[in-house]
Amino acid sequence: MPDTQPDPTPAPRPTLDVRNLIFMTLSPVIAIPGTIWYTYENGFEWWMPALFLVLYSLVGLSVTAGYHRCFSHRSYECAWIVQVFYAIFGAMSFQNSALWWSAGHRRHHRHVDGEFDPYNIRKGFWWAHILWTLDPDPEKANLSNVPDLEKMPVVRWQHRYLVPLMLVFGFGMPAFIGWCFGDWVAGLLWGGFLRIVLVHHCTFFINSLAHTFGKRTYDRTVSARDNAWVALVAFGEGFHNFHHRFPADYRNGIRWFHWDPAKWFIRGLMAAGLAWDLRRTPESAIAEARRRAGEAAAEPPPETAVAAD
């Protein structure tokens, strides 16, 4: 008789993602004291911050206009060449593949502030900011909510070749550009490590700061808030209360004066014929959401109402 008894002592699930712990701890040390020390010892040149700023912008836009608004929310359609740009520069962000990122982000929207929200702010500010990345939860690899993205050849290609893309473009390219200017280590530090760490934390601010500080103009039922300071460093993603209320909209900052470079970038793509079908919430629906949120804000909390009777 074959033994059909279940294993009485299943292997315990690991409690820490050691690879992420090492990267998230070492990369800021190399990026900040490392870059300062190396530049102090070997000299500063104009191309170093220029390389940082150019790559910071291209990678930041690939996460916001690409991973977030194009892939996770499908808020517009774009040409395959634009998808390839998002795939390569998005891989350089060291935030995993567009497929993995979008699966987690869709769970965040669906279960926001709940048990299945991967960066649930109710588990604490630092959990939502970075500690969630150290949790080896197997659910993070669950791609069942991204079947539409699995049909996209560029997304599949990036998911398959993610590690070589991260290494060649995330580290190799800035080192090569630095070498062209005579200092490959400076290129690796300014365009590689410093850029990775700052893009990391500016992205993480959306899950921490923009779920803690700011106004809830459109929806009082979620923790997401509109925070212009976060928008400033995260390419417009700080208008997060609007985004949670209307996640399919290609804009996060809806007024002309709202700092939202991802929105302007997508409009630029449309003008060049490289993006189409931009999804935009009707003004009447936005006004209605504002009115309801305003009414909810004006209502006294239940315990106050009882006390006032």
For Zn ion, the closer CB: 170 or 247: 247
State in angstroms the smallest separation of the CB of 267 from Zn ion. Answer: 19
Instruction: Provide, rounded to whole angstroms, the least separation between the CB of residue 48 and Zn ion.
Output: 33
Closest distance between Zn ion and the C-beta of residue 82, in Å? Answer: 19
- Pull the structure tokens for residue 126: 């630092």
Query: Which is closer to Zn ion, CB of 91 or CB of 209?
Result: 209
Binding track, positions 91-120, relative to Zn ion; x by CB under 5 A:
------------------------------
| Contact string 196-235 vs Zn ion (x = CB under 5 A) | ----------------------------x-----------
Task: Please identify, using beta-carbon distances, which residue of 171 and 235 lies nearer to Zn ion.
Answer: 235
Joined tokens for residue 51: 């390389």
CB of 144 vs Zn ion, minimal distance in Å: 18
Q: Which is nearer to Zn ion, 27 or 72 (CB)?
A: 72
Measure the CA–CA gap between 32 and 200, rounded to whole angstroms.
13
The residue with its CB nearest to Zn ion is 224
Q: How far is the CB of 35 from Zn ion (least distance, A)?
A: 30
CB of 109 to Zn ion, least distance (A): 6
Please give the size of the binding site for Zn ion, defined by CB under 5 A.
1
Minimum distance of Zn ion from residue 251's CB (angstroms): 12
Q: Which of 72, 69, 49 has the alpha carbon at shortest distance from 60?
A: 69
Residue with Cβ nearer Zn ion (39 or 145): 145
CB nearer Zn ion, residue 224 or residue 234: 224
Three-state secondary structure string covering the chain: CCCCCCCCCCCCCCCCCHHHHHHHHHHHHHHHHHHHHHHHHHCCCCHHHHHHHHHHHHHHHHHHHHHHHHHHCCCCEECHHHHHHHHHHHHCCCCCCHHHHHHHHHHHHHCCCCCCCCCCHHHCHHHHHCHHHHCCCHHHHCCCCCHHHHCCHHHHHHHHCHHHHHHHHHHHHHHHHHHHCCCHHHHHHHHHHHHHHHHHHHHHHHHCHHHCCCECCCCCCCCCCECHHHHHHCCCCCEHHHHHHCCCCCCCCCCCCCCCHHHHHHHHHHHCCCEECCCCCCHHHHHHHHHHHHHHHHCCCHHHHHHHC
Nearer of residues 27 and 281 to Zn ion, judged by Cβ: 281
Binding region for Zn ion (CB under 5 A): 224
